[in-house]
Each structure stands twice: as C-alpha cells, then as structure tokens.
Amino acid sequence: MAKTSYVGKPIDNREFDLSALMGDGEEFEKLSLPKPTEEYRKTTIGKVLDATLAELLEQGKITENLSTKIKAQFDRKILNALSQRLTSSISFKAEKLHTYRFMDGVWTFSVDYAEFRQYTSFANVDKLKIVAFDGKVQDKRLATGGKRKWRKTGQEDERKT
C-alpha cells in the first residue's frame, strides 16, 4: 500500500506535524505560517537583505544558521525602529471592505477603492491589502525568542509561538 502525503493548513505560527493524529504510518509535511514581523522582509530593504544573504551563502562566506540569525535580528530591529521613530499618522477610507480576517493576533483587511490622506497630500488605489498586528506583543515574542515559560515550574516551553 502506497503512503499518502497530506498537506494541512496551519492554524497558527507554530510548526506542526499531523502524523501523530493520523497514525497508520501516513506521513505529513511540517508547515508553518510566516510571522507577522516577516512582512517587513517584503519591503525593498528586506528584499535586498535576502539577496545579499543568499549571495554570501552561495559564496560560502556565511552559514545558513548565521543567515537565519541575521534575518531574525532584522525583524527585531525594524519592528523596534518603527514603533519608536514613527510619529506621523495617515488616514484612509475605502468604498468597500472586501474581506477581513483575525487570526493569531493578526488582522488582514482587503479593501477596494481606498483613499489615503496625510496632512495635505492624498493618494487613491483600486485594491489594498492591510496586514496589522500589535507590535508590542510581537516585540515581546521576539525578545524571548518565541519561547514561553511555564508559570508553575519556570521551565521553558519549547513550542514556538
């Protein structure tokens, strides 16, 4: 009998393996969702960092472990800089809220025909996707490396948050 490989949809930011639930030797792939702070890696500076790290990895100048640590440090620093240095605000209104979702502390909105305003300037867009999360909560998770402590024993919980 051939083994069947299943791919499930992750329900939070933790990596998980469903093979324990299925039993019978059926295998599952481990899946994980990107963390909200990884959204910053899609910015221009984040893409340049990824390209530079990939080049250094290819040349053998850094290890995969160091590359991962640098990306995690980038996530922490960009979140810290945005939460402390950003003082301006922007407002927007949209004709239609297409979809919205709240999952694992992250809000995702898709809106149609939005207008942005900042002081005297404005911009219009046909479609917009907004990903929002509480930076203070994420900053605490990043500071602990995603590990939680058990309240009674003080031992670290190895499950990633």
Residue 161: alpha-carbon gap to chain centroid: 11
Structural domain tally of the chain? 3
Is residue 154 included in any domain, yes or no? Answer: no
Backbone φ and ψ of 18, nearest 5° = -90, 0
Show which of 86, 102, 117 is a domain's final residue.
86
Is residue 67 included in any domain, yes or no? Answer: yes
Tell me which of 10-24, 29-43, 97-111, 121-135 is least confident: 10-24
Q: Residue 29: is its pLDDT beyond 90? A: no
Q: Residue 15: is its pLDDT beyond 80? A: no
Is residue 4 included in any domain, yes or no? Answer: yes
Average pLDDT score over residue span 137-142? 53
My answer on whether 99 and 132 are in the same domain is yes
Is residue 46 included in any domain, yes or no? Answer: yes
Is residue 148 included in any domain, yes or no? Answer: no
Is residue 29 included in any domain, yes or no? Answer: yes
Report how far residue 20's alpha carbon sits from residue 6's, in angstroms, rounded to the nearest whole number.
Answer: 13
My answer on whether 130 and 101 are in the same domain is yes
Is residue 145 included in any domain, yes or no? Answer: no
Query: By residue range, what is the domain housing residue 44?
Result: 37-86
My answer on whether 109 and 134 are in the same domain is yes
Is residue 100 included in any domain, yes or no? Answer: yes
My answer on whether 131 and 98 are in the same domain is yes
The CA–CA distances, whole Å, from 2 to 21, 22, 26, 27 equal 19, 15, 9, 11
Report how far residue 46's alpha carbon sits from residue 142's, in angstroms, rounded to the nearest whole number.
Answer: 17
My answer on whether 69 and 95 are in the same domain is no
Tell me which of 19-33, 44-58, 88-102, 129-143 is least confident: 19-33
